[in-house]
């Protein structure tokens, strides 16, 4: 299959004048979530505090992104739908999980925006760490949103089930004044080889190859981590989760490609973008570290596209055949039990 061509053709911003709905994207990053919605014909407005990410958004999308630090007092333009990814560091499994006590918590800002604009639909995503010891806070957020008159559906979804060549689990919450459900997983899985194609075996003078000391460092890391297989990219399966740390940093679990001659190199910005389902026409602002950070923080656009398509169908009262089966609560219960054990 020609996956790069598929995402480049499907994930194209356009405005559906008959739909005529505006989406407000809070904590928008480089625009991965907004790109999925623009590919379904929604108009977007973004807010993002990072200047490089804001520049990336404005360079690639039809909507405008404002470089602004949000507060609960921020006044927004009119919008029909609110989406976003409130900062996830307070809930990350790898972090301290301080939740509400973390100054980076963005949920009060998101809830304030819902109260201010009273949207038809809202959607937010966050890391699966919200299902650990901060599950109480997720419940608190959901209860407050339900008190505003919204019907909610939420589940732990994996982007790999929505044609993204990467295992990337996220808690997705969707709310509407009328009952709404999350999209059903797709049957087709995309592997690394589909996404990277010939890029996987290419290199040039700019390629960043592992040194002998880095090879030893990685070997020691994998031994200490009790890795069964080296953490190289395997072309016959989806990739591991892309994060800021394993893309931008020289860490033991960084994403890398092993060439036929045995050498290993770090993946490039374009390769990381493809694994996150960004089209090749999508260009990132800033230096390499900033670009990797934007990619690692982003919502995978093809995943966002399926979420946006479900909302569009909901709004237009079209066929609900893509509805997510009513097993999300059961899935979360199983996950919680697994986490506790």
For residue 273, give the CATH number of its domain.
3.90.120
| 262 and 306 part of one domain | no
pLDDT band at 103 (very low <50, low <70, confident <90, very high): low
Provide the domain limits for residue 196. Answer: 192-295
For residue 331, give the CATH number of its domain.
3.40.50.150
| 81 and 126 part of one domain | yes
> Looking at 278, 295, 312, which one is the last position of a domain?
295
pTM beyond 0.85: the answer is yes
pLDDT band at 89 (very low <50, low <70, confident <90, very high): low
Residues 6+ apart with CB under 8 A from 208: 265, 266
pLDDT at 339 over 50: no
| 234 and 204 part of one domain | yes
| 215 and 69 part of one domain | no
pLDDT band at 312 (very low <50, low <70, confident <90, very high): very high
| 312 and 227 part of one domain | no
| 313 and 219 part of one domain | no
How does the average pLDDT of the chain come out, rounded? 86
Positions marked catalytic: 88
| 154 and 26 part of one domain | yes
Task: Identify the pLDDT of residue 230.
Answer: 73
| 44 and 135 part of one domain | yes
pLDDT band at 340 (very low <50, low <70, confident <90, very high): very low
Residue with tokens 């505003």: 148
pLDDT band at 142 (very low <50, low <70, confident <90, very high): very high
Q: Pick the range with the lowest mean pLDDT from 1-5, 49-53, 132-136, 244-248.
A: 132-136
Once rounded to an integer, what is the mean pLDDT over residues 92-111?
64
| 82 and 166 part of one domain | yes
Q: How many domains does the chain have?
A: 2
| 242 and 330 part of one domain | no
| 139 and 179 part of one domain | yes
161/102: higher pLDDT? 161
pLDDT at 55 over 90: yes
| 168 and 268 part of one domain | no
pLDDT at 96 over 70: no
């Amino acid at each position: 299959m020609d996956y790069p061509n598929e995402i480049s053709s499907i994930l194209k911003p356009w405005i559906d004048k008959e739909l005529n709905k505006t989406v407000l994207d809070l904590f928008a990053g480089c625009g991965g979530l907004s790109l999925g919605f623009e590919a379904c014909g929604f108009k977007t407005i973004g807010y993002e505090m990072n200047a490089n990410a804001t520049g990336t958004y404005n360079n690639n999308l039809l909507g405008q992104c404002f470089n602004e630090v949000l507060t609960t007092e921020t006044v927004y333009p009119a919008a029909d739908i609110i989406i976003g990814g409130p900062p996830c560091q307070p809930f990350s499994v790898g972090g301290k999980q301080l939740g509400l006590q973390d100054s980076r918590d963005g949920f009060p800002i998101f809830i304030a925006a819902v109260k201010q604009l009273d949207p038809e639909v809202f959607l937010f995503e966050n890391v699966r760490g919200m299902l650990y010891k901060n599950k109480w806070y997720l419940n608190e957020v959901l209860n407050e949103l339900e008190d505003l008159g919204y019907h909610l559906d939420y589940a732990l979804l994996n982007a790999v089930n929505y044609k993204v060549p990467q295992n990337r689990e996220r808690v997705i919450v969707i709310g509407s004044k009328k009952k709404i459900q999350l999209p059903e997983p797709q049957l087709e899985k995309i592997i690394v080889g589909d996404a990277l194609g010939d890029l996987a075996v290419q290199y040039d003078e700019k390629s960043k190859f592992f040194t002998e000391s880095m090879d030893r460092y990685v070997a020691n890391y994998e031994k200490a981590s009790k890795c069964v297989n080296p953490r190289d990219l395997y072309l016959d399966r989806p990739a591991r989760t892309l994060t800021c740390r394993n893309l931008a940093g020289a860490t033991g679990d960084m994403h890398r490609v092993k060439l036929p001659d045995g050498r290993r190199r770090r993946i490039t910005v374009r390769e990381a973008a493809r694994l996150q389902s960004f089209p090749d026409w999508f260009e990132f602002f800033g230096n390499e570290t900033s670009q990797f950070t934007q990619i690692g923080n982003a919502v995978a656009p093809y995943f966002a596209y399926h979420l946006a398509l479900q909302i569009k169908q909901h709004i237009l009262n079209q066929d609900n055949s893509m509805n997510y089966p009513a097993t999300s609560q059961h899935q979360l219960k199983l996950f919680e039990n697994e986490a506790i054990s």
